[in-house]
A and B are shown apart, each in its own frame.
Chain A
Amino acid sequence: MSGTQATRRWRFLYTPKWLGWHLLVVASVIGMLWLGDWQLRRAQAGNSLSWAYTFEWPLFAIFAVFFWIKTIRDEAHPGDEAAPAEVSLPAGTRQAPAAVASRDAGEPGEAEDPELAAYNAYLARLGKEVKGHGRWHGLR
């Protein structure tokens, strides 16, 4: 990936709309941390309920940052979320080891064939790679 391409991908972050959101997130995170600090002071002053909020507010601040990062990343890579868990065809890759295993099931004694294990590991790796990918159709 070239530098200019990467720059272009992230350029949307400087648009007025996004700058507004950045500002909002920063302000709300500061606000939430301040509220957490305020609750901590109240808790130390003897308000036992405030202990719960002392931990909740920073947690909400972390959520805000996390959600913000996730949103920005999704915006920069729109294709990533295209195929979540609903990819249908890795089923084939998952069935294969089962089929092989059932064929070998008639012979007890041999717990694990190293070759079969390696093959299964390969299939598992393949399945994992394909999962977020969603373009398996043409390859079969």
Chain B
Amino acid sequence: MRLNVILYRVMAYLTGVVLIVLCVLAILQAFTDDSALVNVVGTVHGGLYIIYLLVAFPLSRRLRLTAGPTVALLLAGTIPVMTFIVERRISHRYIDPALAALPAPAPPAAAPS
């Protein structure tokens, strides 16, 4: 669980940063007409997003997210700036309570919200 959360946060920020870089480059491309760099960064983002999905989906199952937040979590990696927003929301609402409930061995109803 903890490892999954750490991996998710790393991938969320990495994917988010690369996506923003990609967007900036794509805008610049309109002026410079050199597509090589955009292609490279685009491919990198594609690869990162695959890893992001592989990390985010198990996390969504561990947190028992309903369909809406799950879809938001998974699609966040494709929308600029969205990873940061979703990461915050998910952390506040789901990850923090789940982690707080971890060390206590017994009752799942322990975390008041």
- Considering the chains assembled together, what is the distance between the CA atoms of A86 and B5 in angstroms? 14
Contact indicator B1/A84 (Cβ below 8 Å): yes
Provided the pairs A56-B46, A63-B53, A81-B62 are in contact, do residues A49 and B74 lie with their beta carbons within 8 angstroms?
no
Give the residue of A49, A85, A88 whose beta carbon is less than 8 angstroms from that of B105: A88
- Whether A117 is near chain B, meaning CB under 8 Å from some CB there, is no
Binds B, one of A30-38, A66-74, A95-103, A118-126: A66-74
Provided the pairs A71-B70, A84-B1, A86-B102 are in contact, do residues A52 and B64 lie with their beta carbons within 8 angstroms?
no
Q: Which residues of B contact A10 (CB under 8 A)?
A: none
Q: Please list the residues of chain A having a beta carbon within 8 angstroms of any beta carbon in chain B.
A: 21, 49, 52-53, 56, 59-60, 63, 67, 70-71, 74, 81, 84-86, 88
Q: Please list the residues of chain B having a beta carbon within 8 angstroms of any beta carbon in chain A.
A: 1, 39, 42-43, 46, 50, 53, 57, 61-62, 64, 67, 70, 74, 102, 105
